[in-house]
Structure 1
Amino acid sequence: MKFYSFFAYLLVGATTSAALPADNSAREVTSLTASKLTWTGQVKRGEPAVSFTGTAEEIYNQIIEINPNYDSELGLDSADAKVKRRDLKPIAKRATTSSDWTCAYGNNVNAESVGVGVRYLYSIANGDCSAPPGSPGNGGCTASSCNSGAGIFLCNDSSNTLHNACTIVADNAVEVLINCQSTTYNGGSSWTSYTHGQIFSLDRSWNVILNQC
């Protein structure tokens, strides 16, 4: 899986499309109470759907243990895959994201580490990602991804278990990643990009958060 080219694609998009960079005024959220993600989807063509629990990366690794050809048959690299690399403009046209996002929530996390999680979410996008029941302000959250302390959380504000296509979670994470990004100059030719924030669904029944994990 070509993570580095994916990082470059996302971060270039962020540089050219950023609307509101993250800042130090964000509400500090040291941790979120979150369960592990449950993914349900097909691992081999023609076979029933199965369920795995873990982060997107852990789930992907479980999938390819069973089917080493998953990527070419059902995953991101398959010939009929509808999941492609995306920048902000095509995502903004999809019904899966909204303009209801804020950078004033959460703590800074490394943008490239978020990019790793996004890539894994897209890689398991033929299945759904679930979150337990919750309520407004007290969502039931799952850690969809956690890479080097950078988490992508799917939080459910409704009283029923949430089942979202994993691509929807990834799309919304990208929306926050691009809109809520700041860059720190480290000297020489070295820069580090950070992000954090929250985005709500159109009906505000669920949200995606980028925060420390």
Structure 2
Amino acid sequence: MKLHSTIAYLLVGVTTCTAFPAEDSARAIAGFVTPKITWTGQVKPGEDSVSITGTAQEIYKRIIEINPNYDNELGLNSNQSTIATRGLEPIKKRATTSDDWTCAYGNDVNAESIGEGVRYLYRIVNADCSAPPGSPGAGGCSVSSCNSGAGIFLCNDSSNTAHIPCTIIADNAVEVLINCQRTTYNGGNTWTTVTHGQIFSNDHSWNVILNKC
């Protein structure tokens, strides 16, 4: 599957390296993932930023409740949107992702459900998402998306709260989704595509995990 086609598909919506030891990451998620991401950004033009905690879907729903015209004024459809202006250049060539990913960590999750989470992360385009402080191998993780048991986690391996643009979390999730997906033929005209894995920032201060939630 071509990368630009995958990104375009995710933006429209869905219809249906070196790594820390997997067991350490598993403990981090199992033991410490209680919070959801906190999004801090502008909901209405000219107004102060607000903070909203939830999954990307929950945050987007709350944003639209506050400002039904958010998409056009500050979100995905606005001329301020980084998604709208950057084009569909290959993700690997941007500094916001790295080649430091692994498919060895995590459990299979439905790729279409991950795609739905990515779509919502792109929709909350104009602000940062945060994760609590952590340490290497035992990051402070936040659930940025959870759809039908398929989760996108932002894990912070530094001693300070991580503030990462939500679209960069989405970029990294797509990187794992593309490189670690596997499709199984179910018979007839049906296939099931699954994915899982982990990708680290260039400075190893945070990482994104696709795993069960």
TM-score by length of 1: 0.85
Equivalent position amino acid for 2:173 in 1? A
CA distance in 2, matches of 1:169, 1:37: 11
- Map 1:31-46 to 2 at 5 A: 32=30, 33-34=32-33, 35-46=35-46
> How far off its partner does 1:80 sit?
3.3
Equivalent position amino acid for 1:49 in 2? S
Equivalent position amino acid for 1:172 in 2? N
In structure 2, the gaps of 5 or more residues are 11-21
Aligned to 2:19: none
Aligned to 1:210: 210
Aligned to 2:177: 177
Q: Is the 8 A contact 1:29 1:211 kept in 2?
A: no
> How far off its partner does 1:143 sit?
0.1
CA-atom RMSD, angstroms? 2.2
Matched, 1:76 2:88: no
CA distance in 1, matches of 2:114, 2:121: 11
SS in 2 for 1:9: helix
Aligned to 2:193: 193
Equivalent position amino acid for 1:60 in 2? Y
CA distance in 2, matches of 1:169, 1:42: 19
Aligned to 2:145: 145
In structure 1, the gaps of 5 or more residues are 11-25
Q: Percent identity?
A: 73
CA distance in 2, matches of 1:29, 1:132: 17
> How far off its partner does 1:78 sit?
1.5
Aligned to 1:67: 67
| The 10-residue stretch of structure 1 (133-142 or 75-84) with the greater mean CA deviation from structure 2 | 75-84
TM-score by length of 2: 0.85
CA distance in 1, matches of 2:80, 2:8: 25
Q: Is the 8 A contact 2:82 2:125 kept in 1?
A: no
CA distance in 1, matches of 2:200, 2:26: 17
Q: How many residues of Structure 1 are paired with residues of Structure 2 in the alignment?
A: 193
